[in-house]
Structure 1
């Protein structure tokens, strides 16, 4: 289904609130920390006949926070059984900082600290039905949350947030990074420190490592930035697109994998991998941005298809918000900011047409990371976009 067809259907009123809710599973990410659709009543700026909106950064952020964050600060994946993952808590913290919502940030961090913080300083990955049901850590959530805390300490003038962010970042370095011949890498979680290491390319975040390096002065953040670049470059040296999952051997050898530790359908560029160009496009390092630009060509073969093989051919029908945002990042990094603006509009429209936790999160984060420097990066798209 093309983006133009989605818009036409919306104009005809086919994608009204009730229908959007019933179709939401069409765009549900096929991943463990996946996104799921919210009840239509929970979505701000939901589609109305003839009325898909182009979000401002503020509106995209409010749509995610209002739709998926409960009053107590828990981020609820409403259309995946109502569970909570550390990724979602971290996303809400970043969005709250980005749109200057101190009250929501405080609530989300308080809930996260009370419900998910492990004795070793990392966050448990999954909570459901009143308790932690999977205590394993997810390093992308830990890294994003640490970044958000440091930024909140400065923005809200709360030193306790800065201290918590530096502490969480230290736990990430101690327990979720390992040295390899390719450089220091961020493994998938504390469970992946034995080689070969389960590695998710989209967990690497040059923007986060830069923020945390400045706050802590720990030289391992620079080592991690260099290792993340090296592994991403190695993956793009073997295929046009990065995979959702890979493994890194202690000798620096890097291989694409069909899911974490090989547990997946096939090697693919999907709901995880689409975050990779976003993470690298916001980097202040031109070499990182060049890696994001390198995927613009292969991504252009099939628009915003949700899942592709590593050559850029679609693996099924369907589009996704994170795919549109990833394409926006790639073309922006390549210098085509006008095209990037249109891709961000497409992401907005997909988020409204097929409401989901993951889609709402990346409609908001995409605009924050790619068009605004409030999260400490170097956005490739003009702020007026």
Structure 2
């Protein structure tokens, strides 16, 4: 099994405070959370000494402006380029690009991104190969969060742009996900992180891959009852995890009998059990759900994430920092949790601070979530039920 890694620069400042730039592991597959060591800062990101680019201009952007900036700065002819990570492309990035383009109604960008993805990443079974570099696929193992986000985006775009081929592609991709990357347990049906995870029990599980809105969108489009089963199974597993600790882990495992364990990376391959660059996506995905029980799940994180104004990028499951580094996604996660409990002013403040952070130290992952989090939390353009309205202050 090949290693699947997303290594991102996670360094910046909150207000006037700057933090040292580091290379942070952004797990999106197997094995996950492997530290790779420093790399040279890419153009437009933090300098090699870790300081924000002094030439960058931070502006107060709308959701549409942040989305347009992601498409302009990180997409070349339909390929989402990780300029800060060796100029490669991963299926996660293509899926993020599809969601962003669908959300702002940019049919041309959406078409270019999907055409590139279909041509270069789609496997014979319909799933998406994870990593492409230097003109070829270098890791063809699919990652279910990318496939799930892509299928959701395709179905939404099919309706938004009145383009049946997008709908058909989304429905077909959804079917393969349900067939090859889900498993039945006593806790319910769960989304596996990849095809590799179906081979053995207990099953590796990434709580942040579950997307209640994607499950709903794909269930409505396909009529397949397995999507409702996935929604229920994800809720059951997430509830169990949050009953055991205030914050969810990046990775867990689910036994056939329904018991759940927090894990230090996929198959126990990471540094330690932690809430970090994976788990921080969970409150965003749950806060945008139209199910009040899902929104309540996101709300459970609010008090723990609010303990410190300068929220760190990685903590233990009790909220104690494991690093001095900060990242936009951590602030966006707290914004989602705060919105879910009705704390709209501080939620809006967190979203603004996250966007400023993303602009000060540009990175692929930071820019993607600077576009997606506000879209999910303040608009209904991705078929969710946002807890905020853009510019909310009360």
Output the CA distance in 1 between the equivalents of 2:74 and 2:162. Answer: 26
The residue that corresponds to 1:355 in the other structure is: 362
Aligned 8 A contact 1:98 1:374 in 2: yes
8 Å CA contact retained: 2:12, 2:21 = no
Identify which of 259, 276, 282 aligns with 2:282.
276
Structure 2 counterpart SS, 1:127? strand
Q: How much is the aligned-residue C-alpha RMSD, in angstroms?
A: 2.2
Match of 1:261 among 257, 264, 267: 267
Paired residue secondary structure (2:15): helix
Q: TM-score, normalised by structure 2?
A: 0.88
Residue pairs, 1:197-236, within 5 angstroms: 197-236=203-242
Whole-Å separation in 2 of the counterparts to 1:335 and 1:368: 18
Alignment-derived partner of residue 133 in structure 1: 138
* SS of alignment partner, residue 324 of structure 1: helix
Equivalent residue, structure 1, for 2:81: 76
- Aligned positions, number: 366
Asked whether 1:155 is paired with 2:160, we answer yes
Cα distance in 2 for partners of 1:54, 1:28 equals 27
Q: Structure 1 215/32 Cα, relative in aligned 2: closer, same or farther at 3 Å? A: closer
Indicate how the Cα distance of structure 1 residues 287 and 133 shifts in structure 2: closer, same or farther if over 3 A, else same.
same
Partner of 1:368: 375
Compute the displacement of 1:189 (Å).
Answer: 0.7
1:39 and 1:109 mapped to 2: Cα distance?
26
Q: CA deviation at 1:293?
A: 0.1
SS at match of 1:40: coil
Q: Which ranges of structure 1 fall in alignment gaps of 5 or more residues? A: 10-14, 16-22
- Whether the 8 Å CA contact 1:302–1:313 is kept in 2: the answer is no
Question: Which structure's residues are more often helix, by fraction?
Answer: 1
SS at match of 2:253: strand
Map 1:1-385 onto structure 2 (within 5 A).
Answer: 6-8=14-16, 25-26=21-22, 28-32=24-28, 39-40=43-44, 51-71=57-77, 73-193=78-198, 194-303=200-309, 304-385=311-392
How far is 1:302 from its partner?
Answer: 2.8
Closer/same/farther in 2, CA of residues 371 and 48 from structure 1, 3 Å limit: farther
Distance 2:377 2:346 in 1: 13
Q: How many angstroms apart in 2 are the aligned matches of 1:363 and 1:50?
A: 16
Structure 1 pair 285–98 and aligned structure 2 pair: CA distance change class (3 A) = same
SS at structure 2 position matched to 1:332: helix
CA distance in 2, matches of 1:311, 1:108: 39
Superposed displacement of residue 26, structure 1:
3.2
Asked if the contact 1:38–1:68 (Cα under 8 Å) also holds between the matched residues in 2, the reply is: no
